[in-house]
Amino acid sequence: MSQSRVVFRGMFLPYLLLLPQISVTIIFFLWPSYQALEQSFFLEDAFGFSREFVAFDNYAALFRDEGYLRSFGTTIWFGFSVTFLSMSMALLLAVCANRTVRMATGYRTLVIWPYAVAPAIAGVIWFFLMNPSLGIVAYWLKAMGVDWNHYMSGDQAFAMVVVAASWKQISYNFLFFFAGLQSIPKSLLEAAALDGAGPIRRFWTISFPLLSPTTFFLLVVNLVYAFFDTFSIIHATTSGGPVDATSILVYRVYNTGFIGQDYGGSAAQSVILMVLVIVMTAIQFRYVEKKVVYS
Amino acid sequence: MIDRRPLLDIITHLVLIIGVIAVCFPLWMTLVASTHAPEALSSGRIPLWFGDRAWENFSDLLAKGLPEAGGTPVGLMMINSLIMALGITIGKLAVSIIAAFAIVFFKFPFRPLFFWMIFITLMLPVEVRILPTFDVVTKLGMLNSYVGLCIPLVASATATFLFRQFYLTIPAELVEAARMDQAGPLRFLKDIVLPLSRTNIAALFIILFIYGWNQYLWPLLVTTDPTYTTVVMGIQRMVNAGESLPVWNYIMGTATLALLPPVLVVIFMQKIFVKGLVDSEK
């Protein structure tokens, strides 16, 4: 925070102005998070009458639970699949749109609108398109010899939620890649062209390295999106099934707490997720600080 | 264009056209399915062009909803979604504008502490603290109310940072001039800071409106009374409506209604939306 600013004096006013933000933060963010932390060290009976301090037992139980460990693996696999798929598609489209001179905005409009579609709605739409009996994508897949039924096959259900989650995210990545490509100085590319570098060579030796801050930023944002914002895709379509195949961590927290009523276990899962978000946000901000310094 | 390569140009456009088709195709199928009778969708031949049932499907949905899924009219769900989206958007903007104002233009004890408290909300999304937050809302008696849908979501680190960033670019001379003219801080906020932040507010409004409209988990938790169902969350009940098979023409109709408002906002305010998105991620 800069020190040399001219500032107003006031005893109560600044606190008054901060009051709404801070009270919402304390009541609905900090207090519940503290509760989760506390709860995770206790074992509560099913009716909530008594509880017993069990230290790290809830955590130990989680890491002994095969289902939880599988969810961990599913989440990571899911996160990287979504990130890779949506980022590579978006980069390809952004590079092409950047090559066109007049049509770029037209293409942009047609690519960015899915940003506004709720993940839940994206999930439901793909659930319909891939419905084994009346979905057109399922029909094509069957024509290609794939025995498609995501109600039965865990792998196929997983593929379906990956596609739905990636489809929605392409537009976001496209916007940032496109902006990044537009800001690359033309003179650099022209110089390379004069030296005889073809378009593909120019992309890999100039554009791609210069895009790396954008790429890294998007990598973190996409992972956060895939880990936390995709709850609704899962909940609205597969409900974590079949047999846990699409039960990512955020879905499991909800399931353990609301359906399974295991409060200690759910709280311990919450705390683990919080640590995960904190680490990812820290990485993102460290990077942002660097960008500010260099530019 | 740096060098002329006609073949590459053709490939470029080809890739773009295929990409655009792939991105837009799901929307096309959604619109098409929402205009057919249920039998047309399950007859084995998947329709690729519009049917003749658009009017019946949409008027049924808006006025009556889906009986198998509780029968809440989708029209009511849309109104609920609108109230929630506007409540969250206006709430977030109002709260962040004044909080950032206090942090930038005042010097007072514990300022960094407040700053960090706001920052930390970034790290605590609802998804990771579902149960305890639900408990708090229950204890405050905020279940099944618009207040419960909006208020817990109005704290916004992103918006506060964005406004802080912008306020820091307001020249110190302006503040000094205002003080020389004996304008108090609130006058300064109203007459100088707010008019200057107009474009920022507009850009952020779009981003936050989409965020608010698309809320899913939160309404799922705090509304059990179907008269408070929002459309993005309500669609899930239609998909998983127990034993009866999903009525896809109605579900796709609901999906259309649920995605139309935010998508139209993005398309018609594209320029300002792009600015808002890029700014708010800095």
Examine residue B29 and state whether it is found in any structural domain, yes or no: no
Contact check, Cβ <8 Å, B239/A236 = yes
Q: Which two tokens stand for residue A39?
A: 């709860």
Examine residue B38 and state whether it is found in any structural domain, yes or no: no
Q: Are B217 and B64 in contact (CB under 8 A)?
A: no
Examine residue B54 and state whether it is found in any structural domain, yes or no: no
Examine residue A137 and state whether it is found in any structural domain, yes or no: yes
Q: Are A234 and A248 in contact (CB under 8 A)?
A: yes
Please report the DSSP string for B135-158 in residue order: HHHHHTT-TTSHHHHHGGG---HH
Examine residue B97 and state whether it is found in any structural domain, yes or no: yes
Q: How far is B12 from chain A (nearest CA, A)?
A: 5
Compute the distance between CA of residue A141 and CA of residue B103 in angstroms, rounded to an integer. Answer: 57
At position A196, the amino acid (one-letter code) is G
Q: Are A74 and A245 in contact (CB under 8 A)?
A: yes
Q: Given this model, what pLDDT does residue A126 score?
A: 93
Examine residue A63 and state whether it is found in any structural domain, yes or no: no
Say which residues have a Cβ less than 8 Å from residue A106's Cβ, sequence separation at least 6.
Answer: none
Burial track A205-239 (b if 16+ CB lie within 10 A, e otherwise)? ebbeebbeebbebbbbbbbbbbbbbbbbbbbbbbb
DSSP E strands in B43-91: the ranges are none
CATH code for position B221: 1.10.3720.10
* Domain ranges, residue A90: 73-246
pLDDT at A163 over 90: yes
Q: How far is A40 from chain B (nearest CA, A)?
A: 11
Residue, of A160 and B53, whose pLDDT is higher: A160
Among A244-248, B123-127, B212-216, the range with the most confident prediction by mean pLDDT is B212-216
pLDDT at B205 over 90: yes
Q: Given this model, what pLDDT does residue A292 score?
A: 40
Does any CB of chain B come closer than 8 Å to the CB of residue A239? Answer: yes
Contact check, Cβ <8 Å, B132/A267 = yes
Q: How far is B117 from chain A (nearest CA, A)?
A: 7
Our count of domains for chain A comes to: 1
pLDDT at B92 over 90: yes
Q: Are A289 and B282 in contact (CB under 8 A)?
A: no
Compute the distance between CA of residue B44 and CA of residue B33 in angstroms, rounded to an integer. Answer: 13
Q: What is the DSSP letter of A260?
A: S
Compute the distance between CA of residue B234 and CA of residue B244 in angstroms, rounded to an integer. Answer: 17
Closest by Cβ to B108, choosing from A14, A25, A267: A14
Closest by Cβ to A115, choosing from B135, B266, B282: B266
The separation between the first and the last C-alpha atoms of chain B, rounded to the nearest angstrom, is 30
Q: What is the DSSP letter of B246?
A: P
pLDDT at A267 over 60: yes
From chain B, the residues in CB contact with A190 under 8 A are 2
- Per-residue confidence at A95, pLDDT binned at 50, 70, 90? very high
* Domain ranges, residue B189: 73-280
Kindly give the interhelix angle for B74-105 and B248-268, rounded to the nearest 10 degrees: 30
- Per-residue confidence at A123, pLDDT binned at 50, 70, 90? very high
Q: Which two tokens stand for residue A236?
A: 């609205």
Residue, of B260 and A51, whose pLDDT is higher: B260
Our count of domains for chain B comes to: 1
CATH code for position A140: 1.10.3720.10
Does any CB of chain B come closer than 8 Å to the CB of residue A152? Answer: no
The CA-based diameter of chain A, rounded to the nearest angstrom, is: 78
Which backbone phi and psi does B106 adopt, to 5 degrees?
-125, 155
Query: Smallest Cα–Cα separation from A212: which of A87, A124, A118, A125?
Result: A87
Sign of CA dihedral A180, A184, A186, A190: negative
Q: Which two tokens stand for residue A90?
A: 């978006």
Token look-up 């130990």 returns: A60
The CA-based diameter of chain B, rounded to the nearest angstrom, is: 78
Q: Which two tokens stand for residue A35?
A: 């509760």
- Per the prediction, chain A carries an average pLDDT of 85
Among A3-7, A104-108, A234-238, B210-214, the range with the most confident prediction by mean pLDDT is B210-214
Compute the distance between CA of residue B57 and CA of residue B61 in angstroms, rounded to an integer. Answer: 6
pLDDT at A4 over 60: no
Examine residue B11 and state whether it is found in any structural domain, yes or no: no
Find residue A44's DSSP bridge partners: A51
Does any CB of chain B come closer than 8 Å to the CB of residue A116? Answer: yes
**Which of B20, B121, B124, B231 to mutate to test binding with chain A, by most A CBs within 10 Å of its CB?**
B124
Q: Given this model, what pLDDT does residue B2 score?
A: 66
Q: Given this model, what pLDDT does residue B244 score?
A: 64
Contact check, Cβ <8 Å, A121/B217 = no
Does any CB of chain B come closer than 8 Å to the CB of residue A29? Answer: yes
Compute the distance between CA of residue B48 and CA of residue B45 in angstroms, rounded to an integer. Answer: 9
Is it true that the peptide bond before A185 is cis, omega within 30 degrees of 0?
A: no
Query: Smallest Cα–Cα separation from A176: which of A76, A291, A238, A90?
Result: A90
Examine residue A21 and state whether it is found in any structural domain, yes or no: no
- ipTM summary value: 0.90
Residue of B nearest to A286 (CA): B282
Examine residue B81 and state whether it is found in any structural domain, yes or no: yes
pLDDT at A182 over 60: yes
Residue of B nearest to A254 (CA): B130
Q: DSSP 3-state assignment of A52?
A: strand
Q: Given this model, what pLDDT does residue A3 score?
A: 46
Examine residue B245 and state whether it is found in any structural domain, yes or no: yes
- Summarised one tens digit per residue, pLDDT across range A59-86 is 888 888 888 899 989 999 999 999 999 9
Q: Are A175 and B277 in contact (CB under 8 A)?
A: yes
Q: Enumerate the H helices of A150-248 as residue ranges.
A: 154-182, 186-194, 199-202, 208-210, 212-224, 231-236
Does any CB of chain B come closer than 8 Å to the CB of residue A225? Answer: no
